[in-house]
């Protein structure tokens, strides 16, 4: 992307913000103005009516990007395989002190499991790892996942080395080719100068105390609740009665009417 647009950035999605909602899948990120609808073929938002690639990714026989977002909450005990990143899972990840620890036990690491939970939470094509890049949310999710690794490298730079263990699958060892990037080895993926990584990350609004809603988001996607930034709920999403500010509208005035976000005409 930087080759074509040197000043462009990819916004990351921190799903901890969405977990504050009564129903996290109501997050305004998936409004018609942004990522679009969450159930069935995606016909609204930036990916409206996107045709899926490759041909073997037509999982739902409609030819279109498709989602089936989980409408339950963020409790890992109830839904360990279809849950967004939560404050608890991020605390666990931020407790790791080496790249090797982050990856253990390699095929079944907590980091990998928490990352996969977001894929399953979105569902549809995101649920099929071979086809998940069809969904633009894939990139925002993976930028946040990458940021978590960057945090570890910053706090433990001497431990940012590729692991050596017999438990690592043959194709995943440091000396194996990084497919499909055949000109790189897996271990070289940790070397910023080799891969040409020259970007940084803004802190997540979740981790920064707020005083006003604008501190959290200038676009209305977030609101400030007693110093904590939280996601807003899109139109027809669940809200707390009387808390109009937790609702988002693509147009019109947001209000929480009998526990449901509505958008009144301007």
CATH code of the domain containing 91: 1.10.1280.10
Structural domain contains residue 102:
yes
Range of the domain at 145: 8-161
Q: Is 194 helix (H, G, I), strand (E, B) or coil?
A: helix
Backbone angles phi, psi at 142, to 5 degrees: -75, -25
For residue 24, pLDDT beyond 70: yes
Mean pLDDT over the full length of the chain: 92
Structural domain contains residue 3:
no
- pLDDT given for residue 168 in this prediction: 86
Query: Which residues are 222's β-sheet partners?
Result: 231
pLDDT band at 73 (very low <50, low <70, confident <90, very high): confident
Nearest to 1 by CA among 122, 143, 114, 135: 143
Structural domain contains residue 62:
yes
Structural domain contains residue 15:
yes
Structural domain contains residue 203:
no
pLDDT band at 77 (very low <50, low <70, confident <90, very high): low
- Judge contact between 232 and 246, C-beta under 8 A: yes
The domain tally of the chain equals 1
pLDDT band at 266 (very low <50, low <70, confident <90, very high): low
Q: What are the residues whose beta carbons fall under 8 Å from the beta carbon of 256, sequence distance 6 or more?
A: 239, 240, 241, 242, 243, 244, 246, 247, 262
Between these two residues, 44 and 169, which has the higher pLDDT value? 44
Q: Can you give the length of the chain in residues? A: 266
For residue 85, pLDDT beyond 90: yes
Percent composition of the chain: helix, strand, coil (DSSP 3-state, to 5)? 35, 15, 50
pLDDT tens digits for range 26-66 = 999 999 999 999 999 999 999 999 999 999 999 999 999 99
- pLDDT given for residue 166 in this prediction: 76
Structural domain contains residue 105:
yes
Q: How far is CA 58 from the centre of its chain?
A: 23
What single DSSP character describes residue 238? B
Q: Both tokens of residue 23?
A: 């129903």
Structural domain contains residue 259:
no
Q: What is the pTM of this model?
A: 0.92
Structural domain contains residue 166:
no
């Amino acid at each position: 992307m930087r080759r074509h647009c040197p000043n462009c950035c990819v916004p990351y999605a921190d799903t901890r913000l969405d977990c504050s909602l009564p129903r996290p899948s109501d997050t305004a990120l998936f409004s018609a103005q942004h990522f679009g609808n969450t159930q069935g073929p995606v016909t609204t938002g930036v990916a409206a009516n996107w045709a899926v690639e490759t041909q073997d990714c037509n999982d739902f026989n409609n030819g279109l990007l498709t989602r089936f977002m989980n409408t339950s909450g963020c409790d890992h005990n109830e839904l360990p395989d279809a849950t967004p990143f939560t404050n608890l899972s991020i605390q666990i990840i931020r407790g790791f002190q080496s790249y090797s620890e982050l990856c253990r036990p390699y095929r079944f690491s907590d980091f990998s499991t928490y990352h996969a939970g977001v894929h399953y939470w979105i569902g549809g094509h995101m649920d099929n790892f071979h086809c998940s890049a069809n969904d633009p949310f894939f990139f925002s999710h993976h930028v946040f996942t990458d940021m978590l690794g960057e945090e570890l490298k910053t706090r433990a730079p001497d431990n940012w080395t590729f692991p050596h263990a017999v438990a690592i699958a043959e194709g995943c060892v440091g000396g194996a080719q990084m497919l499909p990037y055949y000109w790189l080895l897996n271990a070289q993926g940790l070397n910023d100068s080799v891969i040409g990584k020259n970007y940084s990350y803004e802190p997540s609004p979740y981790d920064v105390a707020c005083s006003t809603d604008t501190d959290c988001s200038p676009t209305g996607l977030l609101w400030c609740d007693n110093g904590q930034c939280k996601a807003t709920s899109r139109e027809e999403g669940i809200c707390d009665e009387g808390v109009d500010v937790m609702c988002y509208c693509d147009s019109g005035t947001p209000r929480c009417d009998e526990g449901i976000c509505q958008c009144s005409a301007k």
